[in-house]
Amino acid sequence: MAEKYYRSCLSTRYASHEMQYLFSDHFKYTTWRKLWIYLAKAQKELGLKITDEQIKEMEDNVENLNYEEIAKQEKITRHEVIANINAFSSVCSKAKSIIHSGATSNYVVDNADLIIIRESLDIILVRLVAIIKFLSDFALDYSALPTLGFTHLQAAQLTTVGKRCTLWIHDLLMDERNLSFIRENLKFRGVKGTIGTQASYLEKFNGDHEKVKQLERLVTAMAGFEKSYSITGQTYSRKVDLDIIAALSSLGSSVHKICTDIRLLASKKEIEEPFEKSQVGSSAMPYKRNPIRSERCCALARHLITLHSNAANTHATQWMERTLDDSANRRITIAESFLTADACLLILLNISQQGLVVYPKIIENHIKQELPFMATESILTSMEKIGVDRQDCHEKLRVLSQEASAQVKQFGSENDLIERIKSDTYFEPIFNQLSSIMNPNNFTGRASQQSKAHKNFYDFEICNAYTHDDHQQQ
């Protein structure tokens, strides 16, 4: 539906509903209310005067969000957290006096952000592992199909279609490692007070340090975290955000590399992304089969890559215990990092699950254009074995190769190097070996075995948690 005002295309076109929900006001504000409940429950357990009735009233109103009231309060106070405290208090008359007791704004802001980040990482990891699984199946299916390998975008030696795919998988496995490490080591900000000293809570518990530490442990556990950061200022260190976005940015570079390779291979008509029966490649050129999904991935991945510098600058400019110039920036950067990563993975998941289309005959034709040149070393070795002078043989092969190359480049002819060799009686002793020498499988080294060996790198059981609903629309 057309909108009168700007909305991010990450919401309207690219990111999944489940990822969008995590960054919605609804999820944020209800999470803030749950954090106030955790704090009240823990304070009650440690002896402060809080009743079950007050806690139940808060629990009953977690979803009772009046956005008009919140907006009204924020307009008056110019403070989002105070606006939500006032709105929550307006429906919790009994609990009004204990909401946010002893806390600073970043008790809810930062802890909620960490909960959102945790849930977002879980979505990203499941998608990522599913892609690895589908690409692994592809690598196995084409583990033995020879294809031209390239260095400097110039034909080098032969590899296999499956082996090239394992280059992509290897990068994605590194991304999985990075993101899993971050997920496993993500901590809670905890209950730290105004500038991280916990002074307000120490006062509440009459100087009892053990109760303050127990308060932190209780709230951390209620929020589903095993540990909290032992040291914070008013906020948890923005170095945490930087590490997270660095890993997502690194994932973006992997996606860009993979999809660039697919685009290059599509231009050679060797491999294509899925192309649907009714899909239109160009409004002007009906024959076009543009790799639009891979192009879209590259476009989004470039944006994801750039967000790393934003997070680095935010961390670098946090003065002393904190400044507020991180707030507006983080609203955009963290959300867009996850939404963009989600969008990239959804598209790549669609490509890898529907299946890349391989054209073996085109690949074979391209090999035929280059293999005669690659085979000269094997021909030289075979001639050496029968006792000919290596330098004489090398010179003859050089001359014949240059002649064949000239025919290809100047006249667009087929590579006729082998025919030229067969016409020269100097090479007659190995004529019966030429057919065997020219078998492409003799030039792929251990590519086939390497394509199969990578399957042992990763346990794909997490793929069972993957659901197919979100990426079908992509």
Q: Is the Cβ–Cβ distance between 40 and 50 less than 8 Å?
A: yes
Going by pLDDT thresholds of 50, 70 and 90, the confidence category of residue 464 is very low
Q: By mean pLDDT, which of 37-51, 324-338, 361-375, 452-466 is the weakest?
A: 452-466
Task: Report how far residue 415's alpha carbon sits from residue 412's, in angstroms, rounded to the nearest whole number.
Answer: 9
**pLDDT greater than 80 at residue 467:** no
**pLDDT greater than 70 at residue 468:** no
Secondary structure (DSSP) of 211-274 = HHHHHHHHHHHHTT-S-B-S--SSS--HHHHHHHHHHHHHHHHHHHHHHHHHHHHHHTTSEE--
Q: What is the pLDDT of residue 250?
A: 96
Q: What is the DSSP letter of 228?
A: B
Task: Report how far residue 227's alpha carbon sits from residue 235's, in angstroms, rounded to the nearest whole number.
Answer: 16
Spell out where 234-337 has E strands. Answer: 271-272
Q: Is the Cβ–Cβ distance between 86 and 33 less than 8 Å?
A: no
Mean confidence (pLDDT) of the chain: 89
Q: How distant, in Å, are the alpha carbons of 55, 110, 293, 350, 464 from that of 344?
A: 42, 26, 9, 10, 21
Copy the structure tokens of residue 461: 């059981």
Going by pLDDT thresholds of 50, 70 and 90, the confidence category of residue 50 is very high
Copy the structure tokens of residue 202: 């120490």
Going by pLDDT thresholds of 50, 70 and 90, the confidence category of residue 282 is low
Of residues 352, 327, 319, 334, the one with CA closest to residue 474:
352
**pLDDT greater than 50 at residue 242:** yes
Task: Give first-to-last CA distance, the chain, whole Å.
Answer: 17
**What are the pLDDT digits (tens) for 130-182?**
999 999 999 999 999 999 998 898 888 899 999 999 999 999 999 999 999 99
Work out whether strand 357-358 and strand 271-272 pair parallel, antiparallel, or are unpaired.
antiparallel
Q: By mean pLDDT, which of 182-186, 306-310, 444-448 is the weakest?
A: 444-448
Helices (H), 80-208: 80-90, 105-141, 161-185, 199-204
Where are the chain's structural domains? 13-90, 105-274+289-359, 375-440
CATH topology of domain 13-90: Fumarase C; Chain B, domain 1 (1.10.275)
**pLDDT greater than 70 at residue 1:** no
Q: Is the Cβ–Cβ distance between 352 and 407 less than 8 Å?
A: no
Q: Which residues carry out catalysis?
A: 152, 282
**What are the pLDDT digits (tens) for 173-190?**
999 999 999 999 999 999
Of the candidate CATH numbers 1.20.200.10, 3.40.50.10440, 3.50.50.60, 1.10.10.60, the domain formed by 105-274+289-359 belongs to 1.20.200.10
**pLDDT greater than 90 at residue 15:** no
Q: What is the pLDDT of residue 391?
A: 93
Q: Once rounded to an integer, what is the mean pLDDT over residues 388-392? A: 91
What's the CATH class of domain 375-440? Answer: mainly alpha
Task: Report how far residue 48's alpha carbon sits from residue 36's, in angstroms, rounded to the nearest whole number.
Answer: 15
Going by pLDDT thresholds of 50, 70 and 90, the confidence category of residue 370 is confident
Q: Is the Cβ–Cβ distance between 14 and 301 less than 8 Å?
A: no
Q: What is the pLDDT of residue 352?
A: 92
Q: Once rounded to an integer, what is the mean pLDDT over residues 304-325? A: 90
Q: By mean pLDDT, which of 188-192, 286-290, 300-304, 356-360 is the weakest?
A: 286-290
* Residue 163 three-state SS: helix
Q: What is the pLDDT of residue 5?
A: 85
Q: Once rounded to an integer, what is the mean pLDDT over residues 207-228? A: 95
Q: By mean pLDDT, which of 148-152, 273-277, 295-299, 358-362 is the weakest?
A: 273-277
Q: What is the pLDDT of residue 454?
A: 63
Q: What is the pLDDT of residue 455?
A: 64
Q: What is the pLDDT of residue 2?
A: 64
**pLDDT greater than 90 at residue 412:** no
Q: Once rounded to an integer, what is the mean pLDDT over residues 330-340? A: 93
Going by pLDDT thresholds of 50, 70 and 90, the confidence category of residue 375 is confident
**pLDDT greater than 90 at residue 459:** no
**What are the pLDDT digits (tens) for 107-122?**
999 999 999 999 999 9
Q: Once rounded to an integer, what is the mean pLDDT over residues 220-246? A: 93
* Residue 148 three-state SS: strand
Burial (CB < 10 A; 0-12, 13-18, 19+), residue 128, is buried
Q: Tell me what percent of the residues of the chain surpass a pLDDT of 70.
A: 92
